[in-house]
Structure 1
Amino acid sequence: MTTTRRDTDAIRTLQGLADPRSSVRLRAAMAAGTAPDPGFVDTLVERCAIEPEFFVRDMLTWALTRHPVSVTLPRLLRDVRSERAQARSQALHTLSKIGDRRAWPAITPALLSDADDEVARSAWRAAVVLVPEGEEPDLAAVLATQLGRGERETQLSLSRALVALGEAALPTLRAATAARDRRVRAHAIATERLLRDPDAGMEFAIDEAKRVVVLGEAGQEGH
């Protein structure tokens, strides 16, 4: 392929990423990953921050994983600190897919407790992928501060992150089962059960944990 042809294709790809039609953006993101070019990285990351379609965002992330980490990592780390929630969330999601542990220092307690649920969920997923060996108990302790947070999907994401840490999460979860907050207790009990029996299913574990908490409170009131 001649230089002129490559340049023309690159321009077409960059223009496609900004097209109002999601199908065109999807094809452009696929093209950017199929024929990686460092010149695409800034536009791919910028598009991640504003892209409304899930499937296009997923393809943008795939395209970024096809580029050299030396180019993508610094750019993604900037977006992790963005004021735009989607930029933070997508940057974290992409970092979890790349899996380069040099990104670990960027996974701060502030991100793990971000007020935006999607950002926090992305941070939890990235954290369990990037955590250095030996630091899992410390990460579990930070994640446990979010027990009881949000609706079921958010709780499922946190439970999966804690379960991914394995035995390192057990002491923290056991401590949380005695928390004063009913939601925290139920979430901790459900997560501990899921860790011990992954086949149980999170929906079942949460429902069972709620019953345990209610029965325990009823027993205390009876005394």
Structure 2
Amino acid sequence: MTMPDTVRAFRALENGDASVRLRAAMAVGTAPDPAFVDKLLERCAVEPEFFVRDMLTWALTRHPSSTTVPRLVEELGSEHAQARSQALHTLSKVGDPRAWPAITRELLTGADDEVARSAWRAAVVLAPEDERPELAAVLASQLGRGDRAMRQSLSRALIALGEVILPVLRAARANPDPGVRVHAIATERLLRDPDAGFEFAIEEAKRIMVLGAKGQEE
């Protein structure tokens, strides 16, 4: 892009109309230029509309990973949760394994749900094979966390790791928290039968818990 075009695109990315911002992000992704990377990241941190953020991520993936990955990793240290979450989301789309060391336990277990959820998705994409058992253990420490959507996201992340999750799921069945036990049983059910559906797996896990308790009483 020429300098005037670049200036216009920068302004459009900050326009008050979300549809204008969307078109601007699409234009930048269609004609990628390293000069836009910092601006795209800046917008990711503050953009209120999900569909615009998704286009910003797409635009970033259109740039060379050698340019974007180091800057995305820097964003993981931002004080703004949305900046961290969106950087993690983008790293999961880029899929460059060089970003793996930046996916820390702090990100995977942190208090902000959106950051943690994005870290789970990025981790299962980026983790090397030999790191997956340890990642499974860290993710399993989050079983029972949050609302239904959060728990479903964690189950999906765990299942993406495959059979390596079985030891940590079975260990979680002994957890004193019934919510953790139900979540672990449901996740193992979904690993065995991905078509079962999360709600069905949860209800089945609850029945197993009740039957197990009755068996102990008898």
Q: TM-score, normalised by structure 2?
A: 0.97
Please report how far the alpha carbon of residue 129 of structure 1 lies from its aligned counterpart in structure 2 after TM superposition: 0.1
Q: Which amino acid aligns with 2:84?
A: R
In structure 2, the residue matched to 1:86 is 82
Count of residue pairs the alignment pairs up: 218
Partner SS, residue 129 of structure 2: coil
In structure 1, the residue matched to 2:109 is 113
Q: Which amino acid aligns with 1:99?
A: G
- Are 1:43 and 2:39 counterparts? yes
Please report how far the alpha carbon of residue 70 of structure 1 lies from its aligned counterpart in structure 2 after TM superposition: 1.4
* Aligned partner (choices 124, 135, 138) of residue 139 of structure 1: 135
Structure 1 window deviating more from structure 2 (167-176 vs 122-131): it is 167-176
Identify unmatched segments of 5+ residues in structure 1.
none
In structure 2, what is the Cα distance between the partners aligned to 1:214 and 1:21? 53
In structure 2, what is the Cα distance between the partners aligned to 1:182 and 1:61? 38
In structure 2, the residue matched to 1:204 is 200
Identify unmatched segments of 5+ residues in structure 2.
none
In structure 1, what is the Cα distance between the partners aligned to 2:73 and 2:131? 21
In structure 1, the residue matched to 2:52 is 56
User: Where do 4+ consecutive residues of structure 1 move more than 6 Å?
Assistant: none
In structure 1, the residue matched to 2:187 is 191
Structure 1 window deviating more from structure 2 (197-206 vs 153-162): it is 197-206
Instruction: Give me the identity figure in percent.
Output: 71
The residue correspondences of 1:1-223 to structure 2 (distance < 5 A) are 6-220=2-216, 222-223=217-218
RMSD (Å), alpha carbons: 1.1
Partner SS, residue 47 of structure 2: coil
What does the per-residue CA deviation read over 1:77-119, in whole Å, with 9 as the maximum and x for residues that have no partner? 1111111111110000000000000000110001000101110
Please report how far the alpha carbon of residue 175 of structure 1 lies from its aligned counterpart in structure 2 after TM superposition: 1.0
Q: TM-score, normalised by structure 1?
A: 0.95
